[in-house]
Structures are given as C-alpha cells and as structure tokens.
Structure 1
Amino acid sequence: MDSGRLHAVRGEIVHFLADPAERGAAALEHFADGLLILRDGHVAECGPAAELLARLPPEAAVADRRGMLIMPGFIDTHVHYPQTDIIASHGEELLDWLTRYTFPAERRFEDPAHAAEVAGFFCDELLRNGTTTAMAFATVHAASVDALFEAARLRRMRLITGKVLMDRNCPDFLRDDAGLGVEASRRLIERWHGRDRLLYALTPRFAPTSTPAQMQAAGRLFAEHPGVYLQSHVAENRAEVDWVAQLYPAARSYLDVYEHYRQLGPRSIYAHCIWLDDADRARMAATGTAVSFCPTSNLFLGSGLFDLAAAQAHGLRVGLGTDVGGGTSFSMLATLNEAYKVLRLNGQDLSPEQAFYLATLGGARSLYLDGRIGNFSAGREADFVVLDPSATALLARRNATAATLVERLFLLMMLGDDRCVAETWVLGQAAWRRDAANP
C-alpha cells in the first residue's frame, strides 16, 4: 500500500452501496470494527480493521474512535441560510410565513457584513450537526451568494447555492429585474461554479414570484450551462398550488409550469413535492429531476404529508432537506425522526436503513454527486461524521438493550440530535469536534 500521506480512522463503520428499497440488506455495508483509510482528502480503502491494519504502513497515524459510529457526512438537499434567524417563529402557513417573517429577514442581506456573519454561523451549525454538503437558498442579493460561498470555501465544504430570482409578488425591496437578475446569476456562475467544492444553482424562488419572462430566461441559462444546478419549490401547500393555477391557467399542473420553462432535468431539485399526481411524478422521473423531502417544515407549517412510496414507485431521486427556517432543526437525525412520523401518518414505514440512506447516499444521488460523496467507496471525498451512540443518558440506557445494528440505527434517528455528533470530518480532516467546542 502506498504510504504517501496516508492516515486512518478506526471505529464502527456503516455506509451504503445502493438503495435499500432496491437491494435490501445488500445495500448496507457494516464493519463492527472497521478502518477508514484516507489519502489526500479522499477514501483510499474501507474495510475490517484486522485486515487493513496489517497492511497499513507503520508510520500512518490511526485515530481510534472505537465505540463510535462512523458514517458518511450528512447531505442537506434544501435549506435557507438567510432564514437562520427566523427559525421557530410562531404560527403561520407558507404564504403568510413568507410575508411575515421571511421577506423582512432577507432584506437584511443587502448588507454584506450581515450576510457574512450569518453565513459563517450557518456553515458552522451544519458542521456541528454532521452535515458536510448542503444545497442552500441565498437571497436576491449577489452579496448573499458571495458570503455563503466564501464561508463554505474557508471550511472546505461542498456547497451548492445561488442568487434568488424573484421579480413579482414580493416586496419592492426584494424585487428583481427579469433580465438583470439573470445577468447577475451569469456573473456569479463565472465567479463561483466549480471553484474548489462549490457549485452554482439557478434559484427561481417559486413560480408565483417570477414573471414568465424571468422563468424563460432562467430556463435558457440552465440549458446554456450543463453543469449548473437549478433549485426551487413545488406543490408544498394547497393555497400555493391554487395560486399557481390562477397565475398559469394554461398549465396542466404546478410542475408543468417549470417544465414549460425548461427547468426540469438532471441537477434540478425541487423541495416538498407534496401535492403532486402520478403524471407529475412520472415527468420528474423521466427527466431525472430530484425531490427534497422536508418533513420538519412540512409539519411545522402544516403543509401536508410527503408520499415516499409513490416517489419510489416512480423511480424518483429523493434526498432530505431540513428546510431551515420553516424547518425546526439543522440536525439530520431530528429530520429523520420527523420523516418517520410523516410517513407513519401517511400509512407508510421508514426503516432505519432507508432513513440513513436518504441522509447520505440518497442525498448524493439526488444531487448527482454520488461519484464524489455519499459513501466510502475508494476515491470518494472523505467527508464523514463520528456519532456517539451513548451521547445522552437515555440513549446509553436504551442502547444497552439493543441487539442489532438496525435497532441501534433506529434509536439514533428517534432519540438522537446534535449531541450525538462527536466529530465532523471534511476532506479527511476534523472540521468540528464536540470536545473542542465544549472544553
């Protein structure tokens, strides 16, 4: 084994090679005493410690994390960094939430200093919760995009974001110009897309806040830049769906509006997707468009219950989103807790294997990044989280009675939160440590 810049982490390792909904138990790879060998920020090898330690050069450092669970870093496929300061604001449905809380909060991001301060806190909060990759909304201000990309770059995180496009049905202080907004997006693409681990997403907020002219221009720019992403919202709330039907009476459905403006396809990700029909799901699957399932915000705003079984039946790519600040936690463990409950209310089950798949490799696939992140296959970027299964007295007590890995994973998703994150590693180096944060 080439010893060049090798080091390793030892502990209980769990990751996914495929979707458990398709491959069952064979989708999960588990090493009760495993070794993750790292070289130059990437995974060199992963397997049983007894086997790999014997081949590891003696000078290679080994971080001993036995008693901890090592998993790929969590992937948040939909989150609003400007809404960090309005998380847990009381009592509105979606459209009222935007008017009362979101738009006033986003106005402050015209100040680059404010944007930079929030961006730094936001990225640190992601890392504290074990999230190493995020697809995030910024605001209409180019400075908000610059601030978030720079904060992520300094932390070596993989991050996707973009300037919000919004030129109608919003306050004057956030209203964009259809042409100028797209031109600003083009300049941001040139400045940031593909730099280090950063990727750009065209970001029409949602169909009601963009004129047909802006929607058309965004679709054209998406087609002109094949590696760029597009993110938006669709079918989150019944009143929203009705509003879109009034604004676009010729469209078959809400999703049809985006398809008309050439905004579906690979690297196009839509949050929520609650009030879709099977024709919509079929179009998303056929075009390679992905879904971000955002359970905590769907419950908090009373929007509805996502139908994971229907999404899976149509072969849709699905990831998980915290959707902060409509969502109530940055923690992917807390998000899995709520996802389980949403699906139970919808007459469905979320197994622990499927849950952690969605939080890792499923999220990577929804972002078309599974060749780079999402599991510990050789060559993947070495982003991972070290989880403490005894982080709280209750977890420790309950884990003492758990007989299987699946039981222990279920306990983590139902009783776990940010306290379970002992460390978060980015590109093979520790980026956050609980002990360092709480000396």
Structure 2
Amino acid sequence: MRTVGLIVEYNPLHNGHYYHYQQSKKESGADACVCVMSGSFLQRGEPALVNKWARTEMALAMGADVVLELPIAYACQPAEWFAFGAVSLLEATGVVDSVCFGSESGDLTMLEAAAELLHDEPAAFRAELAKELATGAPYPAAYSRTVARFVLGADEAELAKPNNTLGLHYLIALRRLDSRIRPLTIRRTKAEYNQTDVTDSAIASATAIRKLLLEGSLLADVRPYVPQATADILAREWAAGRAPMHWERYARPLLHQLLTQSAGQLSAYAEVSEGLEHRLKAVLSEPLLGVSSSGRAVDTLLDLLKTRRYTRTKLQRMLLRILLGHRHDELSPALLRQGAPYIRVLGFSPAGQQLLKRMKAVASAPLVTNIGRSAPPWLELDIRATAAYALGYDSPSPEDWLRDYYEPPIRYGFGGSDAK
C-alpha cells in the first residue's frame, strides 16, 4: 500500500486543505494517507480553534486513513524543530513513502538546493547568521536573508514565505534523518497562508476563517469555505461550549504564572531567552490599560512585549511554554534531535487499520493507542496540554481535562456504533 504523509494543523480543515489532500494523493500515486497533526496548541503558539479529536474527525471525514499526534514538544516550535519532529514521526512509522507539503513556490528546485547546503550547516553560514541576528533582525528574516546569500539562485522574498520556509526545513529534516521518504510539493492556490481577507467564493485561508469566527460571524458564514463535515463538527463543538478556543480564554492562568513568579523562575521556561524574563516583569509592573474592560489581556500583553527583534509568534510560543510549565531542560536540542519517541494514534479508517498493523511490525517507535497512568515524559507533556486546553471550555469537566486517558482512537467509516 503506497502511502503519502501530510503534516497539518487543520485549524480548521477547509476546502484548500481538501484540494491539497486530493492533489497529494494524485501526485504521489498513493493508496493511503497518514496525517501528522498538531494537538491542543499550534506552531504559532496559539490554542487550536477546536480540540484535537474534533480536528481528527475532520481529517478522517476528508479521506485521511491515519491521524497521528505531533508531540507538543515539537508542535509549538520554530520551523526547524517543528519540521524535524513531524518528519521524524513519519519516518518512524516505517510505512510512509512520500511527504507532500504546500508551498508558495510549488517548486522544489530552490528548496532542494538550499537543503543540500544547510542540512549540515557550514561554519561560515552560522557566522553570517549570527551577524544578521546581531543587527536585531527577527530570526526568520535573518535566516532567509542568510540562506539567500549562500544558495545560488535563492530568492530571499520567496524563502521568507511561511510555507516555503517550512518546506525547506522538511527537506533539511529528510536529509538529517537519511530518510527514504520522497518529498513532493503542491502550490498553494487562491489564498495565502496568513491572508486575513476572503477573496474567493470557495477557498479561504484558515487565518481568514478563524478571523471571521472569532470576530463574531455566524458558522453559516464560513460554510462556503469548508467541507460539510467540518461545518457540522464546528457546530457541534460550539454548541457544547468547547469552541471557539483562543488565547483570551487562558488569560487568568497565564497571568497567575507571570505575576507570581520571579524573573529568575520565568527564565527556566522554554523560549524565555535573551533576558525576556526581565522584559516580561517590566511590562507587568505597569498597569495594562483597558485590559479588564476590553477582554484583551493576552493581546494587550503581546502588543506591549513586541519589538523588532521579537515577533508575535515568538512571544506567543514563549507565553505558551510558561502557561504549560515547559522548562528548557525538558525541550533541549539534545532531546529534540532524537526524534519522535512514540507514535500516538488519534484516529483511523478501515484502510488505516491495515496500515497500523503494518506499523506495528516495522515502526521504529512504539505505537500508542491507549494511555496508562505512567506515560513517558513527552507524552506526559501532551496529557498536561490537553488538561490545560480543556480548562478554557465554557464548563470544563474532569472528563474533558483527563480525556487523553480514556478516549480511544477514533474509528471512522466502520459503520455501526464505532462510526463517528
């Protein structure tokens, strides 16, 4: 069974994602599809609009055969580690033949050339990157600028585009893992990654869809841009008080952490670097005007923290690590380089069930379908993230925050009582 891997967030799954899925199957000639999907919190340091089980249902309804959870250790990282973790998880399955990602370029030529040079970064490249960072440039911009200088024919503006950046790091990860997985790319169509406005009758970015929903639009307003199953699942989660999830639902627990810990204590958390703990405490020592009345505590805090050097995404990831209590030592580069230590299964189809049987025989990491009370360290981080995420619901219950322990993988398309 030829299998293509997709690395996704589906926040939420929309018509553009469905197009990417269809084209990936076509370009790869695959019979089956494995999705590696972020869990409760996402790469930009934000809570997912709906929980990982709801988004797993969306993926399976679209046609995915197996959905695996990308550990939060990787899911909320800059592009390099996000890509490495996701690719290492696909590699660990032992059954994935190709990986297909969306890109603004739709062409692997430039990205392959850059990956060939950068999978083992030359000392000269690192020195040049350090010079760029010393100017105060944000890391993504400094990295793109440095790559453009080192790679013949590389275009800085193209490299800086979000999906091209991730694509480059997927290719680098494949080389670092000496993977046999074949890379493919599909050009994004009709809506850019972070495009906030809707310019097409059927395709809109996930950013634009979330903007509509979080600004009070009705679910009916986004139905033209999402598959029917996505619309139905969103309606169900809204009705249950489990959506829409956003940063402001976590303002109080976050502020509790920030206000009750010293700068020294804050410096122990991942993503708190270069003295940011002192900037945090300095900002918090001044009244945050309008926070209590506007309901924008986290948004206001991010506005006050943001500088030319520190992007909003970097700061969101920092706040998330503080909220979840993730320390530097738990997410050290030495640990991250080891790759995904387990394969957490969130859901599968009948064809996916056959894939899972193959995985059990050939996978290089253990498959996890049920969680016991003594989980390995990184899986414990995922369990804690689920609990923290659920506490943002309208009326969270113990079943919500302990859901990882009792929720089996979703079986989709089997018929009878096990169908979702």
User: TM-score, structure 1 length as denominator?
Assistant: 0.23
Give the structure with the higher percent strand: 1
Larger RCO (alpha carbons 8 Å, 6+ apart): 2
User: TM-score, structure 2 length as denominator?
Assistant: 0.23
